[in-house]
Amino acid sequence: MKTIAAIEAFADRYDLAIVGAGPAGLAAASLAVAHGVDVVVLDENASPGGQIYRAVTSTPMTRREILGEDYWRGVELVQEFSGSASSYAPSTTVWNVARGLDGDSLGRDFEIGVSLRGKARLLRAKEVILATGAQERPFPIPGWTLPGVMTAGAAQIALKSSGLVPDGHLVLAGTGPLLYLVAAQLIEAGASIRALLDTTPRANWMSALTATPGFLASPYLAKGLALLRMVHRRLDVVGGITALRAEGQKRLNRVAFERAGRRTELDCDLLLLHQGIVPSINLSNAIGCAHDWDDVQLAFRPQVDAWFASTVQGVAIAGDSAGIAGGESAAARGRIAALGAAFRLERIGAGQRDRDAAPLRAELALLARGRRFLDVFHRPAKAFRVPSDDATLVCRCEEVSAKTIRETVMLGACGPNQMKAFTRCGMGPCQGRLCGLTVTEMITDARAVSPAEVGYYRLRPPVKPVTLAEIAALPQTADAEKAVAR
């Protein structure tokens, strides 16, 4: 692995650029390099691993049992990658991926806008694999913007990378496997949790069991049950939560919830929210890849083929960014995507590609067993996806309330893009990451149509902020000059 620490150290051109150094990106890179592909991995974080294996080779955590064996599995992936001939650019922001137009100087290459230590550059690559992973689903409840309210994933990141555990009155709330995993990890690390408020709708039990009898054969079953038992034994789990508010003036000091029509309040310094993870699609959306609404996972995911190739030729999407399937699946999907890319780059033939992919596909099939159970069982309640309280902020950046969104639908804004123009919802620096799904589902709810019909924001570069000076220093053309200085 060749680490790129300065913008000048990049080559002008690579065969394959991989965005993201989580399990999908790392596995894809290691495999592609082994087939003679010239690879660069571009990652926003300072060390490889993505979120699931965050800081796995640099964490201060020494007691293995706190984070659990699933976490340490990441070491092998990182070591394999470190031993490979891949180029690796940590702390690097990818702010644009654009396909060259026929006839211009790019040919069919991609132009990749990157920024490292305050300097931007345009790289070229023949193939791109997006391994941008997942993010936690927005959890728009009253008070969710108060300091002291964080996501469960955020607390896990603080634990993994800095050995931090919550102190003081701590409450966890929501649903999803990660919520219970974080609870277990925090308990092991010595945190004292006042309560876990479980918002999983009671009806999910039945729908999940009837929809997916296959769960009994799932590798998740034993693991999941053990986790549930441990958490239930060690802390106060309150189920059937139907309403949740974070309260406080300048910061959180109380969480209020309703259960069976009864309101309860708990003093609280830190509230960790979580209701599942959803694909990170900002980059694939901006590139122009087609996306579908996944009605089980309640999120948009890119359309991909058997090689995880998107609808934009040359762009593959692997790992959770192609639909949530978990970290182990992500690595296998990354490898399959890498085989597809190596084939298109003519490093391997179709025969070898298919042969090498076969065991990976078998692995994926095994890992997929019971996944649907998790999706259906942890499907978050509508009350926590479509906020009914008028004052709840939907767009954290521009501070747009649920009331404004609903009023604007009544005005005739039939989709998120007109909504955005009318309200500024989604125009802030997070570029819709924390409001996009909420807005789609709120419009869906108000118009009584499908989320697929409502659609999502149409995103543009830069998908992450980059300074004017950085953009100003990029290569220009005579045509561009003519188009502007008229």
CB 397 within 8 A of CB 427: yes
Torsion of CA 243, 249, 250, 254, to 10 degrees: -40
Which residue in the set 223, 254, 396, 403 belongs to the binding site for other proteins (CB under 8 A)? 396
Q: Name residues contacting other proteins, limited to 427-456 (CB under 8 A).
A: 427-431, 433-434, 454-455
Which residue in the set 184, 397, 402, 439 belongs to the binding site for other proteins (CB under 8 A)? 397
Q: Please tell me the count of residues contacting other proteins according to CB under 8 A.
A: 98
Q: In angstroms, give the least distance from the CB of 437 to other proteins.
A: 13
Under DSSP, is residue 23 helix (H, G, I), strand (E, B) or coil?
Answer: helix
Q: In angstroms, give the least distance from the CB of 474 to other proteins.
A: 4
> Cis before residue 461, ω within 30 degrees of 0?
no
148 binds other proteins (CB under 8 A): yes
DSSP 314: T
Q: Which stretch binds other proteins (CB under 8 A): 160-168, 177-185, 354-362, 379-387?
A: 160-168
Longest dimension (CA), the chain: 72
Which residue in the set 161, 175, 275, 284 belongs to the binding site for other proteins (CB under 8 A)? 161
Q: Name residues contacting other proteins, limited to 179-238 (CB under 8 A).
A: 189-190
Q: Which stretch binds other proteins (CB under 8 A): 32-40, 256-264, 323-331, 393-401?
A: 393-401
Q: In angstroms, give the least distance from the CB of 142 to other proteins.
A: 13
Which residue in the set 12, 250, 346, 351 belongs to the binding site for other proteins (CB under 8 A)? 250
Which residue in the set 70, 80, 258, 269 belongs to the binding site for other proteins (CB under 8 A)? 269
Strand pairing partners for 99?
A: 110
Q: Exposed, middle or buried, 101 (CB in 10 Å: 0-12/13-18/19+)? A: exposed
Helix axes 350-368, 327-344, angle to 10 degrees: 170
103 binds other proteins (CB under 8 A): no
Q: Name residues contacting other proteins, limited to 399-418 (CB under 8 A).
A: 399, 408, 410-418
111-141 as b/e: b if 16+ CB within 10 A: bbbbbbeeebbebbbbbbbbbbbbbbbbbbb
Which residue in the set 44, 258, 363, 445 belongs to the binding site for other proteins (CB under 8 A)? 44
Helix axes 23-34, 74-82, angle to 10 degrees: 40
122 binds other proteins (CB under 8 A): yes
- Considering beta carbons, is residue 30 or 310 the nearer one to other proteins? 310
CA 231 to chain centre: 25
- Considering beta carbons, is residue 35 or 194 the nearer one to other proteins? 194
**Residue 228 to residue 18: CA distance in whole angstroms:** 36
Q: Which stretch binds other proteins (CB under 8 A): 28-36, 141-149, 232-240, 324-332?
A: 141-149
Q: In angstroms, give the least distance from the CB of 85 to other proteins.
A: 26
Q: Name residues contacting other proteins, limited to 56-85 (CB under 8 A).
A: 58-63
**Residue 398 to residue 378: CA distance in whole angstroms:** 30
Q: Which stretch binds other proteins (CB under 8 A): 12-20, 68-76, 147-155, 209-217?
A: 147-155
- Considering beta carbons, is residue 339 or 459 the nearer one to other proteins? 459
CB 61 within 8 A of CB 83: no
389 binds other proteins (CB under 8 A): no
Q: Kindly report the number of other CB atoms within 10 A of residue 429's CB atom.
A: 9
**Residue 86 to residue 82: CA distance in whole angstroms:** 8
Q: In angstroms, give the least distance from the CB of 265 to other proteins.
A: 19
